[in-house]
Amino acid sequence: MLETETLDVERIRADFPILRRKVRGKRLVYLDNAATTQKPRQVIEALDDYYSRYNSNVHRSVHTLGEEATEAYEASRKKTATFIGATPKELVFVRGTTEATNLVRFAWGEKFVKKGDLVLTTMMEHHSNIVPWQLLCKNKGATLKFVGLNPDCTLDLASFEGLLKEGPRLVAFTHCSNVLGTINDVSALCAKAATAGATTIVDGAQAVPHMAVDVGSLGCDFYAFSGHKMLGPTGIGGLYGRRALLEEMEPFHGGGEMIREVFLDHSTWNDVPYKFEAGTVNIADSIGLGAAVDYLTALGMDKVREHEVRLLKYALSELAKVKGFRHYGPEDPSKKGGVLSFNMADVHPHDLATILDEEGIAIRSGHHCAQPLMRWLDVSATSRASFHVYNSHDDVDALRAGLEKAGAIFRL
Ligand code: C6P
Instruction: Compute, in angstroms, the gap from residue 60 CA to the centroid of ligand 1.
Output: 33
Let me know: does 206 contact 177? Beta carbons within 8 Å.
yes
Length of the chain: 412
Let me know: does 38 contact 19? Beta carbons within 8 Å.
yes
Instruction: Compute, in angstroms, the gap from residue 126 CA to the centroid of ligand 1.
Output: 7
Nearest to 254 by CA among 106, 131, 136, 134: 106
Q: Given this model, what pLDDT does residue 5 score?
A: 74
Q: From CA 128, how far away is CA 101, in angstroms rounded?
A: 7
Atom of ligand 1 nearest to the CA of 237: 7
The single-letter code of the amino acid at 359 is E
pTM of the model: 0.98
Tell me which architecture the domain covering 9-36+300-409 has in CATH: Alpha-Beta Complex (3.90)
Q: From CA 146, how far away is CA 130, in angstroms rounded?
A: 9
DSSP state at residue 149: B
- Domain 44-297 classified CATH 3.40.640.10? yes
Which protein residue has the closest C-alpha to ligand 1 atom 8?
A: 97
Query: Is 114 a residue whose pLDDT tops 80?
Result: yes
Give the mean pLDDT of 353-365: 98
Query: Is 2 a residue whose pLDDT tops 70?
Result: no
Q: Is 137 a catalytic residue?
A: no
Query: Is 130 a residue whose pLDDT tops 80?
Result: yes
Span(s) in the chain for CATH 3.40.640.10? 44-297
Q: From CA 188, how far away is CA 335, in angstroms rounded?
A: 15
Q: Given this model, what pLDDT does residue 93 score?
A: 98
Evaluate: CB of 184 within 6 angstroms of ligand 1. Answer: no
Span(s) in the chain for CATH 3.90.1150.10? 9-36+300-409
Give the mean pLDDT of 40-45: 98
Query: Is 4 a residue whose pLDDT tops 90?
Result: no
pLDDT tens digits for 242-263? 999 999 999 999 999 999 999 9
SS3 category, 225:
strand
Evaluate: CB of 382 within 6 angstroms of ligand 1. Answer: no
Evaluate: CB of 209 within 6 angstroms of ligand 1. Answer: no
How remote is the C-alpha of 170 from its chain's centroid? 20
pLDDT tens digits for 14-38? 999 999 999 999 999 999 999 999 9
Name the CA dihedral angle for 354, 356, 357, 359, rounded to a multiple of 10 degrees.
140
